[in-house]
């Protein structure tokens, strides 16, 4: 059971906009920033969004993050086939004194 | 180019020990927090351990699941981070990833390719 809650799956067609939610609590998302990771099949994870909404260099602006209260969201616009991957949210948890993850969302591009 | 290369993964029996190494290049290793994450077969990501730079005291943080058994350390002269794993359990079976960590978000901005640790009798 993951500390952060994500839907196990999401899907969309090419060109569509998809959002993935991440729900936490006051000790994690409510008081710290959220990072998002993308894991393509068979590869190591990659940082997609840091500090709620900052894209590292090289990440397309189709990817955006937001946070409100104890929840966060990852939005992917102009969906492409190469976006098919697992997506994880993560945040520092002040009570557990460590990083907590969501269980991951498998995104399928139909 | 930032590169992180893990080594040391192996098949070990429960209760035994193993040390993982992470050799870094392409950045000023001593200036960064380094971390270890893991992913059990078919499962999600799990944070394992962080070690801050010596600028911030070289302090460490460990997940509750490994506290008292795993120890993270670093050798800035060699640009290597280590994860000493003792009293291994079957549930420690996973691919272990070394990461560079940045900022207050404690975001892992670079990941190695991972090394597989299998704990089984």
Closest by CA to A4, choosing from A77, A107, A108, A98, is A98
Residues B88 and B67: their CA atoms lie apart, in Å, by: 12
Render pLDDT for A91-107 as a digit per residue (tens, 0 to 9): 999 999 999 999 999 99
Please say whether the beta carbons of B36 and B20 come within 8 A: yes
Q: What percent of chain B has a predicted confidence (pLDDT) above 70?
A: 98
pLDDT band, very low/low/confident/very high, at B92 (cuts 50, 70, 90): very high
Look at residue B103 in the predicted model and tell me its pLDDT: 77
Which residues from A are below 8 Å from B107, CB to CB? 35, 47, 50-51
pLDDT band, very low/low/confident/very high, at B98 (cuts 50, 70, 90): very high
Residues A71 and A5: their CA atoms lie apart, in Å, by: 9
In this complex, the residue of B105, B107, B113 whose CB is nearest that of residue A44 is B113
pLDDT band, very low/low/confident/very high, at B61 (cuts 50, 70, 90): very high
Closest by CA to B97, choosing from A7, A56, A55, A47, is A47
pLDDT band, very low/low/confident/very high, at B11 (cuts 50, 70, 90): very high
Mean pLDDT along residues B63-67: 96
In this complex, the residue of B62, B63, B111 whose CB is nearest that of residue A44 is B111
Shortest distance between the Cα of B63 and any Cα of chain A, in A, equals 6
Answer whether residue B29 shows pLDDT above 90: yes
In this complex, the residue of B45, B104, B107 whose CB is nearest that of residue A88 is B45
Look at residue B106 in the predicted model and tell me its pLDDT: 86
Mean pLDDT along residues B83-108: 94
Closest by CA to A8, choosing from B43, B107, B91, B96, is B43
CB contact under 8 A, B46 and A103: no
CB contact under 8 A, B107 and A50: yes
How is residue A60 written in tokens? Answer: 């397309």
pLDDT band, very low/low/confident/very high, at A90 (cuts 50, 70, 90): very high
Q: How many alpha carbons fall within 13 Å on the CB side of residue B78?
A: 9
Answer whether residue A1 shows pLDDT above 90: no
Which residues from B are below 8 Å from A92, CB to CB? 105-106
Q: What is the dihedral of CA A57, A59, A61, A64, to 10 degrees?
A: -110
Render pLDDT for A38-73 as a digit per residue (tens, 0 to 9): 999 999 999 999 999 999 999 999 999 999 999 999
Residues A52 and B103: their CA atoms lie apart, in Å, by: 12
Mean pLDDT along residues B21-32: 97
Q: How many alpha carbons fall within 13 Å on the CB side of residue B24?
A: 27
Look at residue B82 in the predicted model and tell me its pLDDT: 98
Look at residue A71 in the predicted model and tell me its pLDDT: 98
Q: Which residue has the tokens 């911030």?
A: B56
Chain B contact for A59 (CB, 8 A cutoff):
no
CB contact under 8 A, A47 and B63: no
CB contact under 8 A, A39 and B104: no
Chain B residue at shortest CA distance from A33: B105
| CA-atom Rg of chain B in angstroms | 14
Mean pLDDT along residues A10-28: 97
Render pLDDT for B104-117 as a digit per residue (tens, 0 to 9): 768 999 999 999 99
Q: For residue A4, what is the DSSP state?
A: B
Mean pLDDT along residues B90-108: 92
């Amino acid at each position: 059971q993951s500390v952060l809650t994500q839907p196990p799956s999401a899907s969309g067609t090419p060109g569509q906009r998809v959002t993935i939610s991440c729900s936490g609590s006051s000790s994690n998302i409510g008081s710290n920033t959220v990072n998002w990771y993308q894991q393509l099949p068979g590869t190591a994870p990659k940082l997609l969004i840091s500090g709620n909404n900052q894209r590292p260099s090289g990440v397309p602006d189709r990817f955006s993050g937001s946070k409100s209260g104890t929840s966060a969201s990852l939005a992917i616009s102009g969906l492409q086939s190469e976006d098919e991957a697992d997506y994880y949210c993560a945040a520092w948890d002040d009570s557990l004194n460590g990083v907590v993850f969501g269980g991951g969302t498998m995104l399928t591009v139909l | 180019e930032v590169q992180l290369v893990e080594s040391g993964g192996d098949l070990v029996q429960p209760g035994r020990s193993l040390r993982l190494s992470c050799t870094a290049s392409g950045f000023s290793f001593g200036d960064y927090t380094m971390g270890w994450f893991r992913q059990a077969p078919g499962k999600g990501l799990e944070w394992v351990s962080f070690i801050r730079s010596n600028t911030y005291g070289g302090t460490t943080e460990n997940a509750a699941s490994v506290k008292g058994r795993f120890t993270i350390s670093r050798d800035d002269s060699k640009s290597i981070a280590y994860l000493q794993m003792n009293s291994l359990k079957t549930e420690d079976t996973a691919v272990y990833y070394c990461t560079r960590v940045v900022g207050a978000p404690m975001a892992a901005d670079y990941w190695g390719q991972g090394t597989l640790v299998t704990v089984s009798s």
